[in-house]
Amino acid sequence: MDKRIILLILTTSFVYINCKDSDQKIYEPTIESINYGSIVYASSEVNCKNCHGVDYKGKGPDAKDLDVPVPDLTGVIAPEKTPLDYFKAISVGTEKTKKNGLQYHAYYSLTDKAKWALANYLYSLAQQPKTNEEKKVRQESLAKAMKEVREIYSKNRKWYMGENTPSTEREPSPKLEELIQKTNFKTEQDISVKIPSEKELEAVFVARQKYEEGYHIYQNHCQKCHGIAGEGVQGSQFLGILDHSRYDAIKGIARRKPAFVGIPPISNNVKKEDVIKYHSYYLTEEQWNDLINYIKAITE
């Protein structure tokens, strides 16, 4: 065969393959996609195997700690189930994967490409329909699902659902400044610490002799924010980032700045219930009483 013809055939094939690859959609179950899905499944970031197991039977080491049984990914699935169901379960979880009101099966950090690869891979593990009726239902379900998928991706680069909704479409969170104003904290930029007086230090010395356990608990858990003698600090505690993008943008560029808050002096009228409410310390009843008594002693 003429070398020019062979070259033309090879060139045409190369162009065709590349055009075909460039037209490939991320949701299509190609060999490359399914292989990528197997990698995502085994990755430490997602840890699917921790619950579903290396054999996909739902007997992973963490499965026993869950409130719901982990499904066998190699078993029989309903004929109407499609990769889209897997994609949504990976993206936002299901009703069965909620615990204490929190969703622990939503992998928002994964790209759509990774989620579709994983969805198609897991779908390929399940047993195929056996009867003609089940096969018909499967085909109809796949056609319906793919129509929905194509419609979504014809309008969006990413499938937005759950917490990955664009920030412009989310309910705006309360401004940090407004939250601070509801407390008795004061926003400060300067970092400074109030020096305890001799009287305050003397009260600490006396209180320590009487409530040794309370002194050590206060020193380990409270002193960093509230000071040696409960005197508080001015502007040294970093609370968060103030969002100035809504009203103080420069040339459309969002601005952020840190918020430092001053901790006011501890009131002598401190109550155990209030301390427990705002702090998550795991103390015994006796330790709580020692801490409260110590705080009252240094703030008299």
What is the average per-residue pLDDT within 183-201? 70
The closest alpha carbon to 117, from 39, 51, 46, belongs to 39
Looking at this protein, which amino acid is placed at residue 191? Answer: I
Contacts of 248 (CB under 8 A, 6+ apart): 255
- Reduce the DSSP state of residue 47 to 3 states and report it: coil
Q: Are 217 and 290 in contact (CB under 8 A)?
A: yes
Q: Are 220 and 285 in contact (CB under 8 A)?
A: no
pLDDT band at 109 (very low <50, low <70, confident <90, very high): confident
CA distance 13 to 110: 34
Closest of 192, 260, 188 to residue 227, by C-alpha? 192
In angstroms, the CA 86 to CA 73 distance is 11
Residues 273 and 186 both lie in one domain:
yes
Residue 146 and residue 29 share a domain = yes
| pLDDT for 293 beyond 80 | yes
Amino acid at 273: E
Instruction: Give me the pLDDT at residue 197, please.
Output: 86
Cα separation, 184 vs 119, whole angstroms: 50
pLDDT tens for residues 21-72?
Answer: 446 799 999 999 999 999 999 987 778 998 899 999 999 988 887 778 899 9
Residue 186 has pLDDT above 90, yes or no: no
Q: What percentage of the chain has pLDDT greater than the value 70?
A: 73
- Based on the domain organization, do 226 and 132 belong to the same domain? no
Q: Are residues 154 and 254 both part of a single domain? A: no
Same domain? 12 vs 126: yes
Domain with residue 40: its CATH number is: 1.10.760.10
Closest CA to 263 of 243, 244, 279: 279
Q: What is the mean pLDDT of residues 124-135?
A: 95
DSSP assignment of 26-46, as one string?
A: TTS--HHHHHHHHHHHHSTTT
Q: Are residues 105 and 190 in the same domain?
A: no
Residues 211 and 246 in one domain: yes
Which residues constitute the domain of residue 78? 3-168
| pLDDT > 90? residue 83 | yes
Identify the residue whose tokens are 């703030």.
299
What pLDDT does residue 11 have?
Answer: 37
159 vs 151: CA distance, rounded Å: 11
Structural contact between residues 232 and 264, judged by C-beta atoms closer than 8 angstroms? yes
pLDDT of 125 reads 95
pLDDT of residue 12: 34
pLDDT the model gives residue 128: 92
Nearest partner of 234 among 187, 199, 269, 196, judged by Cα: 187
Examine the fold and report which residue of 168, 186, 219 is the final residue of a domain before the chain moves on: 168
8 Å CB contact between 260 and 191 = yes
- 280 pLDDT higher than 70: no
Residue 245's φ and ψ, nearest 5 degrees, are -70, -25
Residue 267 or 287, more confident: 287
Q: Which of 98-112, 132-146, 185-199, 233-247 has the highest mean pLDDT?
A: 132-146
Provide the number of structural domains found in the chain.
2
Cα–Cα dist 116/87, whole Å: 6
Q: Are residues 149 and 219 in the same domain?
A: no
| 163 shares its domain with 14 | yes
The pLDDT, as a whole number, for residue 205 is: 93
Looking at 137, 168, 199, the residue that finishes a domain is 168
Distance (Å, rounded) from C-alpha 280 to C-alpha 265?
A: 20
Tokens of 252: 């459309």
Handedness of CA 49, 119, 115, 18 (dihedral sign): positive
Residues 44, 163: one domain?
Answer: yes
Contact 120, 41 (CB under 8 A): no
Residues 193 and 267 in one domain: yes
Summarised one tens digit per residue, pLDDT across range 132-185 is 999 999 999 999 999 999 999 999 889 998 777 776 777 776 666 676 666 656
Mean pLDDT, residues 178-205 taken together:
73
Question: Looking at the structure, do residues 153 and 261 belong to the same domain, yes or no?
Answer: no
Choosing from 168, 199, 232, the residue where a domain stops is 168
Share of the chain above pLDDT 90, in %: 36
Q: At what angle do helices 132-155 and 83-92 cross, to 10 degrees?
A: 50
What is the pLDDT averaged over residues 250-267?
68
46 vs 228: which has the higher pLDDT = 228
